[in-house]
Amino acid sequence: MTNLFKIFIALPRALQWCISAVVFLGIFFGAIDPLLAWRSSLVGRAEIAQAQVNDLEQLVRQREGSDQRLALASRAHGTPHKPGEVETERAAIISAIGRVERAHGIVITSLEPRTIYARDSALQDSLGGDEELVRLVYVMSFQADPQTITAVLRDLEAAPEIQRIGGVRITRTGRGEDRTLAARFEPETWAVRVRGGQS
């Protein structure tokens, strides 16, 4: 080793720099560059792993939020359930309308049933291939004073058998001091029937 060093010292300075550069490049490409490449691959894998962790955290936060929203909605609107068969749901909504009619002493002058095919493919996909979802709408008309109409609407919306009130129309019928109004509500519920069946 000492002989090599003496030979190296005896060489001209330009040649010493060339040999030093070659040795440095050899060490760099032989040892340092592979270490840097290995480090880069570790950093890349770490970034991918961190991105996956971030995605999972976001999913957990979304799920916690949706669980809370579902709990609030369940408290406000009742527990979600799969709609029953047409006859069961029809009897339930008619019963709810009758209950509200008796509670407020109104006389329903018209009650028109309508069955509407529900075209929401996301809901249809959750059913079996031989079932389809339909909306059972009852267009009800009656006359009453404003407070009674408001109370009837409130009770219809609160009834667990009624999914929603699809339409509300109120017109004045009385003249002068007469505060009588004509109301037309469209309470509805959802039901499942055999595909292509008539209701």
Which DSSP string do the residues of 142-190 spell out, in sequence order? EEE-HHHHHHHHHHHHH-TT--EEEEEEEEE---TT---EEEEEEEEEE
pLDDT of residue 142: 93
CA-based torsion, 44, 45, 49, 55: positive or negative? positive
Helix, strand, coil fractions of the chain, as percent rounded to 5: 55, 25, 20
| Separation between Cα atoms, residue 187 and residue 163, nearest integer Å | 8
Q: Which residue type occupies 175?
A: R
pTM of the model: 0.57
User: What's the token pair of residue 102?
Assistant: 């008796």
Show me where the domains of the chain are located.
2-75, 86-194
| Separation between Cα atoms, residue 141 and residue 182, nearest integer Å | 7
Could you give the C-alpha distances from 5 to 16, 59, 130, in angstroms and in order? 11, 64, 91
DSSP state, residue 145: -
Q: Which residue type occupies 68?
A: Q
| Separation between Cα atoms, residue 28 and residue 41, nearest integer Å | 18
User: What's the token pair of residue 182?
Assistant: 């004509």
The mean pLDDT value for 162-169 works out to 90
Three-state SS string over 114-135 comes to EEEECCCHHHHHCCCCCEEEEE
Residues 111-163 have pLDDT tens digits of: 999 988 877 656 666 666 778 888 899 999 999 999 999 999 999 998 988 88
pLDDT of residue 19: 79
Helix (H, G, I), strand (E, B) or coil at 140: strand
Residues 43-98 have pLDDT tens digits of: 888 888 888 888 888 877 777 766 677 677 677 666 666 777 889 999 999 999 99
| Separation between Cα atoms, residue 184 and residue 112, nearest integer Å | 11
Give 76-87 as a DSSP string: HH-------BHH
CATH code linked to domain 86-194: 3.30.70.60
pLDDT of residue 7: 78
Residues 11-47 have pLDDT tens digits of: 788 877 887 888 877 777 777 777 777 888 888 888 8
